[in-house]
Amino acid sequence: MVSAVIGSVVSLCRYPVKSMMGEELNAADVTERGLLGDRAYALIDPPTGKVASAKNPRKWEKLLDCRAAFVEPPRSGQPLPALRITLPDGGIVSGQQRDVGQILSRVLGREVVLGAPAPKTPSLEEYWPDMDGLAHRDTVTDEPMPPETFFDLAVIHLLTTATIDRLRELYPQGRFEVRRFRPNIVVAPALGETGFVEDGWVGRTVAIGDEVRLSITAPCPRCVMTTLPQGDLPRDPGILHTAAKHNGVNVGVYAAVLRGGTARRGDSVRLV
């Protein structure tokens, strides 16, 4: 039995370096580790050994002023291509440069090294703003990450345009744009569905095109990063406050990869 189409892919995004801006794609290979090359690298804080993340903006907010991309599309079964990082002043540094760590340390004002692969037991620091609806208030916590990865909790973050539209309705003053939430796959629901559509997909299997199958595992809780300025987006605590007040601080859903393949912009999305 052929399942009904519930939407289509309107955006694919990869973030080669954790907490830096990433690249929008027309197509991407999807493996058990998510979009090939996603969060392949991170900066490491040598004094602590922790992963540098804009989840602790008091230390690492400037990461969002940098953009990372590969010089050519990664291919399954092949080494990752060269990494290119665009700095806040427009300068470009290669991930293969011997002095890349020194250059990034000067940009960030703190010593860092560019790390890959991930350590066996990675962790990061997360700042929790003083806001209703969060698990902690005005404190920094140490957060474990999945072993040997630079992901927060899961390898895929999927978001629908319906969720973005609903958040805009709830807080019209805020600039709710996809890049604030850093998803990998953005889906436009079919049939004009509205609200937090993808929340209803948790526990289901989603087919992306003819090849990729995802298990939707849990809602995606958001953090202070969504409130930070990046590019022309202003700082706005109201972004996170709206998600906390109206959807349990969740924006989008997490997924595991059941079957890899190639995902493309325009692919149909089905529940199977």
What was the pLDDT predicted at 3? 79
pLDDT in tens, 42-64: 999 999 999 999 999 999 999 99
Query: Which domain does 133 fall in, by range?
Result: 5-271
CA distance 1 to 264: 24
pLDDT in tens, 201-235: 999 999 999 999 999 999 999 999 999 999 999 99
Number of domains in the chain: 1
What was the pLDDT predicted at 191? 82
The β-bridge partners of 139 are 128
By residue count, the chain amounts to: 272
What is the four-CA torsion angle of 134, 245, 229, 256, rounded to 10 degrees? 70
What was the pLDDT predicted at 2? 57
List of the chain residues with pLDDT < 50: 1
What was the pLDDT predicted at 32? 96
Write b or e for each residue in 87-117: b if 16 or more Cβ atoms lie within 10 A of its Cβ, otherwise e.
Answer: beeeeebebeeeebbebbbebbebebebbee
